[in-house]
C-alpha cells in the first residue's frame, strides 16, 4: 500500500487509500513476546472501541501477571546473553535504520490504524505518529555510534576510563494519545544503547505498537529484545513496575499513576523511574505582540488540535488586559473555523475525544467552571451525537481566576481557560501558580522581555512567538509535578546508559 508521501500531490488519491484502510477488518491481537504473537495465558481478551463511532474495532489480549513475567524473562535472557547488548553500535545502527525505513513504508497503514484506535485527526496522526517515529529511530540510530567514553585526568601511572554501558531491561509504559510518537521517544534511545525493552501500551491504544514490534523483528532486532504486553495498568503495569528484573521504568501519563510507580520502585529493586506527568501549560500574550492574528491562530491550534489531548497543550491563555477582548475574539473566530468530525476525513481539522469517559470528564470541567463564575464564549458541549462517536466542540471559557479548578487542573480535552493580566510580573506569577511545569508560550516583540520570561517561568519548555513544533534536537521534560527526566535529544540517552569506571594501574 503506498504511503501519503507517494501521493502527497493528490489528496483525492490519499483519501481513497485512507477509506480503503478504514474498512479493513482487524483480527484480534495478542501479546508480542520473544518474537512471537502469544495469547493471554488465561485466554482473556477485551474489546477495543473506536472513538470514531463508538463501535468495537477489535479485541486485544487481556494480560495477566504470568504474561508480563514471561515478557520480562524474555527481555532479561536476551540482555544477559548479549544478542543485542554486545553487538557493535554500528550493527545496532543498521538494524534501527532498517526499522525506520519499514515504519515509513507502512506509514499510511499505521496512521489509519492509530486513528481508528484513538481518534487523532489523520493529518496530525500521519506526521506525529509513524513519520515522527521513523525519524526518532533514525535519529538515535545515527547517534549511537558517535557516543564516546572518556579518559579521566588521573595520577601518573594510572589510567581511568569511563565507559557507557547499557542498563539492562527497560520497562516502558506509554499513553493512548500519541502512542507511536511517545513510544519511539522511549524505545529508540533504549534500544540504540543496547537495552532490552518490555513495552506496556495503553489498553485503549495498543494496535500500532503491536505492529511496530512485528516490524522490529522484520528489521533484524533479535527475538526477546522488544516485547509488548497489553492489558490494564492495574495488572500488567503493576507487575512490570514491581519486577526485580526490570532496571529502569519510563512512563508518560497521569500524576496519580506516576506516584504509584515510584512506590512500586521502592517496594521492589529501587529501579530508576523517569516520569512525564502532563501539564497545565500557560500561553502568555503581551499587548506588544507583533502579529495578533497569527498569535491567535497558533494559540487556537495549540489547544484544539487532537481535541486538546496533548500533554503540552496550551490550555491556559493569559492575555494582557489591554488586548484581552480583541485577542479572544480573534481566537474564537479561528476556533469556529476548525472543523470537527470524522478523523479519517482529510477535510476535518479536529478528530474525536478518545473515549466516552474522557468526554464526560471534559464536559464536567465546563459545568464546574461555569459554577465557579467563568463565562462560556464558545462550545462547551458534545456534538455529532448521531455518529455514535465521541466529539466535543472547541470550548473557550473567559473570566477564569487563578483559584478556579479549570485554571489549576489538567483537563486533557479541547477546553481553554482564559485569564487577563496587567503586568509582566503578574504574568509570571500566574504562569507559575499551578503544580505543573511542562510547557509554556510567550508572545512579545520585546527581546529583553522574552528572555526574562524564559528565565522566570518554571517550565521544561518555553516557546517564544510560536507554540509547539520543536524537534528531536532539543529535550522535552518537565519540572515540579510534571515529572523528571527528558525525552528527545541526545540527553535522552543518559537515561538508558550506566557510567562504568575502569581504574587501571599501569
Query: Does residue 194 belong to any structural domain of this protein?
Result: yes
61 and 101 belong to one structural domain: yes
Distance CA 348, CA 363 (A): 22
Q: Which of 276, 330, 358, 410 is catalytic?
A: 276
What is the share, in percent, of the chain residues with pLDDT greater than 70? 97
In a domain, 179, yes or no: yes
Q: pLDDT tens digit string along 278-300?
A: 899 999 999 999 999 999 999 99
Is 341 within a domain?
Answer: yes
Q: What is the pLDDT of residue 469?
A: 81
Domain hosting 435: range is 282-470
**Quick check: 419 and 430 in contact, CB under 8 A?**
yes
Let me know: does 449 contact 462? Beta carbons within 8 Å. Answer: no
Residues 229 and 294 in one domain: no
* Domain match, 255 and 212 both: yes
Contact between 275 and 258 (Cβ < 8 Å): yes
HSE-CB at 294 with a 13 A cutoff on CA atoms is 8
Q: Tell me how far apart the alpha carbons of residues 98 and 467 are, in angstroms, rounded to a whole number.
A: 32
pLDDT tens by residue, 298-348:
999 999 999 999 999 999 999 999 999 999 999 999 999 999 999 999 999
Please count the CA atoms within 13 angstroms of the CA of 418 that sit on its side-chain side: 25
Are 338 and 401 members of one domain?
A: yes
Query: What sign for the dihedral angle of Cα 482, 206, 197, 128?
Result: negative
409 and 271 within one domain: no
Lookup: cell for 332? 474564537
The predicted pLDDT at position 75 comes to: 98
**Cα 192 off chain centre by:** 19
Specify whether 273 is located in the same domain as 250: yes
**Does residue 462 contact residue 443 with C-beta atoms inside 8 Å?**
no
> For the residues 24-33, what does the mean pLDDT come to?
97
CATH of residue 465's domain is: 3.40.309.10
- Do 135 and 33 share a structural domain? yes
Say how far apart CA 361 and CA 49 lie, in whole Å.
18
Residue 194 has, within 13 A of its CA and on its CB side, a CA count of 23
Looking at the structure, tell me whether residues 390 and 435 fall in a common domain.
yes
Q: Same domain for 170 and 264? A: yes
276 part of the active site: yes
Residues 6+ apart with CB under 8 A from 452: 424
> Given the C-alpha cell 465557579, which residue does it identify?
372
Domain count, the chain: 2
- The answer as to whether 134 is a domain residue is yes
Residues 169 and 34 in one domain: yes
CA–CA separation, 317 and 377 (whole Å): 14
Q: Say if residue 2's pLDDT is above 50.
A: no
CA distance 196 to 81: 11
- 209 and 351 in one domain? no
Residue 10 belongs to some domain of the structure: no
- Residue 19 is assigned to a structural domain of this protein: no
Angle at 279 between CA 274 and CA 280, to 5 degrees: 165
41-59 pLDDT, tens digit each = 999 999 999 999 999 999 9
CATH number of residue 253's parent domain: 3.40.605.10
Q: How many CB atoms lie within 10 A of CB 46?
A: 16
DSSP label at residue 338: S
Q: Is the pTM of this model over 0.85?
A: yes
Q: Is 225 found in the same domain as 117?
A: yes
- Nearest 5°: the CA angle 61, 65, 71 is 75
d(CA 311, CA 64): 29
DSSP three-state, residue 69: helix
Q: Is residue 5 part of a domain?
A: no
Q: Is residue 387 part of a domain?
A: yes
Amino acid at each position: 500500500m503506498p504511503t501519503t508521501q507517494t501521493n502527497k500531490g493528490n489528496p483525492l488519491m490519499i483519501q481513497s487509500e485512507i477509506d480503503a484502510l478504514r474498512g479493513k477488518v482487524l483480527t484480534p491481537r495478542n501479546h508480542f513476546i520473544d518474537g512471537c504473537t502469544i495469547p493471554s495465558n488465561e485466554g482473556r481478551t477485551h474489546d477495543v472501541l473506536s472513538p470514531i463511532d463508538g463501535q468495537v474495532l477489535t479485541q486485544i489480549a487481556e494480560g495477566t501477571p504470568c504474561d508480563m513475567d514471561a515478557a520480562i524473562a524474555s527481555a532479561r535472557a536476551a540482555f544477559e546473553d548479549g544478542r543485542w547488548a554486545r553487538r557493535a553500535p554500528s550493527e545496532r545502527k543498521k538494524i534501527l535504520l532498517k526499522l525506520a525505513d519499514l515504519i515509513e513504508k507502512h506509514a499510511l497503514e499505521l496512521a489509519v490504524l492509530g486513528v481508528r484506535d484513538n481518534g487523532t485527526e489523520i493529518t496530525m496522526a500521519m506526521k506525529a505518529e509513524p513519520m515522527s517515529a521513523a525519524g526518532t529511530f533514525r535519529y538515535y540510530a545515527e547517534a549511537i555510534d558517535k557516543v564516546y567514553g572518556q579518559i579521566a585526568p588521573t595520577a601518573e601511572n594510572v589510567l581511568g576510563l569511563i565507559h557507557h554501558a547499557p542498563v539492562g531491561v527497560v520497562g516502558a509504559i506509554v499513553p493512548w494519545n500519541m502512542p507511536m510518537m511517545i513510544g519511539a521517544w522511549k524505545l529508540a534511545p533504549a534500544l540504540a544503547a543496547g537495552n532490552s525493552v518490555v513495552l506496556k501500551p495503553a489498553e485503549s491504544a495498543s494496535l500500532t505498537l503491536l505492529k511496530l514490534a512485528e516490524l522490529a523483528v522484520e528489521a533484524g532486532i533479535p527475538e526477546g529484545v522488544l516485547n509488548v504486553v497489553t492489558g490494564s495498568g492495574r495488572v500488567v503495569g503493576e507487575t512490570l513496575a514491581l519486577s526485580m528484573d526490570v532496571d529502569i521504568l519510563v512512563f508518560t501519563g497521569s500524576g496519580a499513576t506516576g506516584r504509584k510507580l515510584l512506590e512500586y520502585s521502592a517496594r521492589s529493586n529501587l529501579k530508576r523511574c523517569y516520569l512525564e506527568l502532563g501539564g497545565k501549560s500557560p500561553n502568555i500574550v503581551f499587548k506588544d505582540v507583533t502579529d495578533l492574528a497569527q498569535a491567535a491562530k497558533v494559540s487556537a491550534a495549540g489547544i484544539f488540535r487532537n481535541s486538546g489531548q496533548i500533554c503540552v497543550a496550551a490550555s491556559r491563555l493569559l492575555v494582557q488586559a489591554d488586548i484581552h477582548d480583541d485577542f479572544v475574539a480573534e481566537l474564537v473566530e479561528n476556533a469556529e473555523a476548525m472543523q470537527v468530525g470524522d478523523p479519517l476525513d482529510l477535510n476535518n481539522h479536529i478528530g474525536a475525544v478518545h473515549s466516552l469517559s474522557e468526554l464526560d470528564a471534559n464536559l464536567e470541567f465546563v459545568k464546574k467552571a461555569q459554577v465557579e463564575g467563568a463565562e462560556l464564549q464558545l462550545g462547551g458541549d458534545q456534538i455529532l451525537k448521531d455518529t455514535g462517536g465521541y466529539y466535543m466542540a472547541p470550548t473557550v471559557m473567559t473570566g477564569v481566576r487563578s483559584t478556579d479548578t479549570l485554571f489549576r487542573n489538567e483537563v486533557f480535552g479541547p477546553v481553554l481557560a482564559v485569564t487577563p493580566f496587567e503586568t509582566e510580573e503578574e504574568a509570571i506569577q500566574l504562569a507559575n501558580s499551578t503544580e505543573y511545569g511542562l510547557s509554556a508560550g510567550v508572545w512579545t516583540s520585546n527581546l529583553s522581555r522574552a528572555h526574562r520570561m524564559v528565565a522566570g517561568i518554571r517550565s521544561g519548555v518555553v516557546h517564544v512567538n510560536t507554540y509547539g513544533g520543536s524537534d528531536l534536537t532539543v529535550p522535552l521534560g518537565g519540572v515540579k509535578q510534571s515529572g523528571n527526566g527528558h525525552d528527545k535529544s541526545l540527553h535522552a540517552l543518559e537515561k538508558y546508559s550506566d557510567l562504568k569506571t575502569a581504574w587501571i594501574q599501569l
